[in-house]
Amino acid sequence: MTNTVRSVQDRIAQLKAEKDICILAHSYQGHEIIETADFTGDSYKLSVDATKVTNKNIVFAGVHFMAETAKMLSPEKHVYLANIEAGCPMAEQMEPELIQAIKESEPDRKVVAYINTTAALKTVCDVCVTSSSAVKIVSAMPDKKLLFIPDCNLGSFVQKACPEKDIMLLNGGCPVHAAVTADEVTAAKAAHPNALLLVHPECRPAVSEQADYVGSTSGIIDFAKKSDAKEFIIGTEASIAEHLQFECPDKRFYLLSKKILCPNMKMTNLTDVLRVCEAIGTDEAKESEIIMSDELIANAKVCIDEMLRLGG
Interface positions, 239-268, toward ligand SF4 (CB under 6 A)? 262, 264-265
Query: Nearest-CA neighbor of 43 among 24, 30, 56?
Result: 24
Please report whether residue 130 would count as binding ligand 13P according to CB under 6 A.
yes
Nearer to ligand SF4, 109 or 237 (CB): 237
216 contributes a contact to ligand 13P by CB under 6 A: yes
**Is 82 a residue that touches ligand SF4 (CB under 6 A)?**
no
Closer CB to ligand 13P, 174 or 238, in the complex: 174
- Selected from 12, 42, 188, 257, the binder of ligand 13P by CB under 6 A is 42
Provide, rounded to whole angstroms, the least separation between the CB of residue 258 and ligand 13P.
17
Using CB under 6 A, pick the residue from 116, 117, 118, 123 that binds ligand 13P.
116
Q: Least distance (Å) from ligand 13P to the CB of residue 130?
A: 4
Nearest residue (CB) to ligand 13P, 19 versus 26: 26
Q: Does 233 bind ligand SF4 (CB under 6 A)?
A: no
Question: What are the residues binding ligand 13P (CB under 6 A)?
Answer: 42-43, 88, 116, 130-132, 174, 202, 216-217
